[in-house]
Amino acid sequence: MATIPKKETIEAANAMRNETSTHLANAIRDKMPAEFRNDVSRCDGTLEGLRGFGDAVTSYDAYYTPFMKLLGRIAFVVVKNALFENPFAIFKKGILEYGESIEEIFIQMAEPHQYDKLDDLPEWHMLKEESTEIETAFYRINYQVYYKKSIRKREVKMAFLSENGVADLIDRIVQTMYQAATLDNYLIVMYMLGRKLVEGKMRSVYVDDANMDKFMGYIRGLSNDLSLPAGSNYTESGVINPTPISKQVVLISSWFEGTLDAESLAYAFHDDKVNFLQRKLVINKFSDIDFNRVKKLLSTKKGQTFKEFTKEELDFLDSIKVIDVSEDYFMLYTAEYEMTDFFNGEKLGWNYWLHDWEIIATSPFETAVAITSIDNSQGVNITINPTSVAISELNKVTPVTVTVSGGVGITKKADFFINSITGNYIPVWEEVSDNVINLRVLKPESGEYQAGTFNLGATVTLPNGTKKTSQIVVNVNATNV
């Protein structure tokens, strides 16, 4: 089970950064060993009192070590709670209490049955089980980095020379590691999102932005579509899983957001201004992302290969104005987030390490769609392999594969269909994986088997709303009737 810090805890942690040195020193003193508390009195609010406290801490190693550990602990409280204030914090599911993986389960809808077929079925048919189609997705820790910060003893001594010195010292520990962790979490999610988009694993829709009123109206209609149960075009796995408008979150380009007022955007997403602003996340242009830093976040030993974006891909990504996703689309969990410390006697410094282990993924069962002002519908090709099929045996499996090529950001998952059936038999297929099926022909439910042909087709929906289709002819001439 994942947990998220309470809002009050986060606010209290952030308040520490604004406390005076006197307040922080006394807070640390109250948690120091009894020997220290007996030898060193509480700071009285004067600089002389603060300096005396600092001299006691830095002059005796038995006091210096626990002080620096407590200082790091305070810094970590601030860093840990700030984790839930990064740009993608709205999608954070929390900190895993145990384990290193998450399993997501999606149960497919039950199939309908006709009453008029009951007369043709045996009495025991009512006892026959109908298996539930269950799909699962596993998410494991796939992001592990650490950050390091060193504090020299001289810096600690100087912290007790000013009223805000101790707070500044904590901030020095916090800022370098917290800002880095926050930035890197944002960068790695943006990189993952960019790969999903250019590889067609998230559907993109082309809308002409020449007329902004029509553009906003289309966004409103698309938001409606995601909330309706009829389609499966907006989930990566193709399952039907509508997202209520109240559970949709809007990612919007910073430049596009700057051209619109909040009321217009709120109208497009069926909400008032106040509620909409809580479900809106402004993101950078993809071409502004520091991909050289992203490379450092991927582990080559774990097979995490960085894929460069081409100019064509970056142009496509930068043309995206809005991304509408389910609030559960991003699977962001923190597995380990802790600080460790060690005294470096050689450098007279204290080293702090921040360890950040995350699960960073997207759900194949949740809705997501991008709205782009570039139409990449041209040049898309669908190839069915084999190019022709001859079936000579009933119930014999024939593997069929579809390849979708061309066009940046085109959905690569095709939908299969069968039409133009001649003869008497039942053609069926079962999905093995994306764009791979096993095709079979069964005996007819009534009448005698007759040879014939049918068309097997595959289709993808293009960003401009049209469909690209390819078909092959399947000859059926079974001999084992």
Q: Give the angle 426-430-432 at the CA atoms, nearest 5°.
A: 155
CA distance 481 to 479: 6
Contact 453, 389 (CB under 8 A): no
Q: What's 287's DSSP letter?
A: G
Strand segments, DSSP code E, in 297-448 are 320-326, 330-344, 349-362, 368-372, 381-385, 389-391, 398-405, 415-419, 426-433, 436-442
CA distance 59 to 40: 12
Query: What pLDDT does residue 262 have?
Result: 59
Q: Whole-model pTM?
A: 0.80
To which residue do tokens 């077929």 refer?
Answer: 117
Query: What pLDDT does residue 9 have?
Result: 45
Amino acid 41 reads: S
Query: What pLDDT does residue 160 have?
Result: 77
* The two structure tokens encoding residue 174: 């916090």
Query: What pLDDT does residue 10 have?
Result: 46
In this structure, the number of other CB atoms found within 10 A of the CB of residue 107 comes to 10
Q: Give the angle 33-36-39 at the CA atoms, nearest 5°.
A: 150
* The two structure tokens encoding residue 47: 């600089």
Q: Which residues of the chain have pLDDT under 50?
A: 8-10, 12-13, 15, 274
CA distance 261 to 168: 38
Contact 245, 261 (CB under 8 A): no
Backbone angles phi, psi at 322, to 5 degrees: -140, 140
CA distance 411 to 402: 13
To which residue do tokens 């509480």 refer?
Answer: 42
Query: What pLDDT does residue 454 have?
Result: 96
Backbone angles phi, psi at 470, to 5 degrees: -135, 145
- 251-254: long-range contacts at Cβ-Cβ below 8 A with a sequence spacing of 24 or more? 251/281, 251/283, 251/322, 251/323, 251/324, 251/325, 252/280, 252/281, 252/282, 252/283, 252/321, 252/322, 252/323, 253/282, 253/283, 253/285, 253/318, 253/320, 253/321, 253/322, 254/282, 254/283, 254/284, 254/285
Residue range 113-141, pLDDT digits in tens: 777 666 666 666 666 666 667 777 888 88
Query: What pLDDT does residue 294 have?
Result: 95
Query: What pLDDT does residue 243 have?
Result: 92
CA distances from 242 to 365, 410, 426, 469 (A): 10, 22, 32, 26
